[in-house]
Amino acid sequence: MQQVTPEQIAAALAALRRGELVAFPTETVYGLGADASNEAAVRRIFAAKGRPADHPVIVHLPHAGLLEQWAGHVPEAAWRLAERFWPGPLTMILPRAAHVLDVVTGGQSTVGLRVPDHPVAQALLHAFGGGIAAPSANRFGRVSPTRAEHVRAELGDAVAVILDGGPCRVGLESTIVDLSGPQPAILRPGHISARQIEEVLGVPVSMPAHSRTRAPGTLPGHYAPVTAVELVADADLEARARAWLDQGRRVAVMARRPPPADLQHVPWRALPDDPVAYGHALYATLRELDSLRVERILVARVPEGEAWTAVRDRLTRAAHGAAQGV
Ligand code: TXA
Ligand code: MG
């Protein structure tokens, strides 16, 4: 569990029981947690994030055995996915149980449920014994935190306890699959791919239109840094950077290779050329470049193909610019 002690888990548990907020690590990103059965506590999440009240939050559970307590109906497909992928980076949207608070579901008839795969999250959830409502622990519209210090810098004052479990293994938010309709549908791509879900369910799984295409026009912009992000074809990266520098503008670059000799002075981060390793590093790198207060972050487009779907989705959202979303 890295730096987290049993005393810290106990302090976090006490805070949850008092209706306060606790930030905790998961394998995807850090969550901003509250007792999912305490309306005032869940409202504190929205206040801390500056998030609109009609956005639903995911309920985190210690194990799949609690599914029936939180879902009004658990279809066979949900049991199969839970068996295969939980604990893990998959959120299922299911019909809500009657007691689930409107503030959790955004007033919808469904609830998002997930069992995270992280020893600290598991320790907290098992000690708590119930559901912990937790969106990502960032201000509304900003990049999700993948380290405890990101949470401290952005939300420190609003949180009673921050459990530091080190850097998140996956680094991108969970895959969200909606099982409440006639056909399973991916609402947010993540580490677990549509194909993996199709293999388990044996039926086609639909993808959101924006992750099938490269056109960013209609996307809600979220996961956005403050600095404008521009996606650039890999082959045009140097030319684009030089064009900005020629105008006396300050730029940073995120690529999958090192800078050429004449651009050594530019803040240039070479991320791994592997989609999983890239996803792990993406948010921390965006945060770091954002903090440099350059005028633009140029990001080399990543390859087409399923392995890069989740990364492509987050980059496209970051490049959309508008500071809105989750
Ligand atoms: O990896 C993750 O999922 C992280 C960690 C902390 O578990 N959590 C996370 O939460 O990313 P958040 O709130 O930042 O994103 C949750 C997404 C939102 O886009 C929300 O709209 C969607 O899940 N969601 C939650 N409940 C839903 C529901 N009942 N129907 C449709 N979408 C839902
Ligand atoms: Mg979020």
Q: What percent of the chain has pLDDT over 90?
A: 89
Q: Is the CB of 55 under 6 A from ligand 1?
A: yes
Q: What is the 3-state secondary structure (H, E, C) of the chain?
A: CCCCCHHHHHHHHHHHHCCCCEEECCCCCCEEEEECCCHHHHHHHHHHHCCCCCCCCEEECCCHHHHHHHECCCCHHHHHHHHHHCCCCEEEEEEECCCCCHHHHCCCCEEEEECCCCHHHHHHHHHHCCCEECCECCCCCCCCCCCHHHHHHHHHHHCCEECCCCCCCCCCCCEEEECCCCCCEEEECCCCCHHHHHHHHCCCCECCHHHHCCCCCCCCCCCCCCCEEEEECHHHHHHHHHHHHHCCCCEEEEECCCCCHHHCCCCEEECCCCHHHHHHHHHHHHHHHHHCCCCEEEEECCCCCHHHHHHHHHHHHHHHCCCCCC
Q: Is the CB of 92 under 6 A from ligand 1?
A: no
Among protein residues, the one whose CA lies closest to atom 10 of ligand 1:
135
- Average of per-residue pLDDT values in the chain: 93
pLDDT digits (tens, 9 = 90+) for 96-107: 999 999 999 999
Among protein residues, the one whose CA lies closest to atom 24 of ligand 1:
56
Domains parsed from the chain with CATH numbers: 6-201 (3.90.870.10), 229-323 (3.40.50.11030)
Q: Is the CB of 310 under 6 A from ligand 1?
A: no
Measured CA to CA, the distance from residue 156 to residue 148 in angstroms comes to 10
Tokens at residue 188, please? 């947010």
Q: Report the phi/psi class of residue 305: left, alpha or beta, with left for phi > 0 and alpha for psi in -120 to 50.
A: left
Q: Is the CB of 180 under 6 A from ligand 1?
A: no
Q: Is the CB of 111 under 6 A from ligand 1?
A: yes
Residue 114 confidence (pLDDT) above 60: yes
Cα-to-centroid distance, 282 and ligand 2 (Å): 15
Atom of ligand 1 nearest to the CA of 108: 29
Q: Are 107 and 34 in contact (CB under 8 A)?
A: no
Q: Residues in the chain, how many? A: 326
pLDDT digits (tens, 9 = 90+) for 41-59: 999 999 999 998 889 999 9
Q: Is the CB of 31 under 6 A from ligand 1?
A: yes
Indicate the pLDDT class of residue 320, thresholds 50, 70 and 90: confident
Number of CB atoms found within 10 A of residue 215's CB: 10
Q: Is the CB of 58 under 6 A from ligand 1?
A: yes
Among protein residues, the one whose CA lies closest to atom 20 of ligand 1:
56
pLDDT digits (tens, 9 = 90+) for 14-44: 999 999 999 999 999 999 999 999 999 999 9
Instruction: Kindly state the average pLDDT of the residues 119-135.
Output: 98
Q: Are 22 and 161 in contact (CB under 8 A)?
A: yes
pLDDT at 312: 96
pLDDT at 214: 41
Tokens at residue 45, please? 């999440």
Measured CA to CA, the distance from residue 74 to residue 144 in angstroms comes to 30
Among protein residues, the one whose CA lies closest to atom 19 of ligand 1:
326
**Sequence-distant (≥ 6) Cβ neighbours of residue 111 within 8 angstroms:** 56, 59, 70, 71, 93, 94, 95, 96, 97, 100, 104, 105
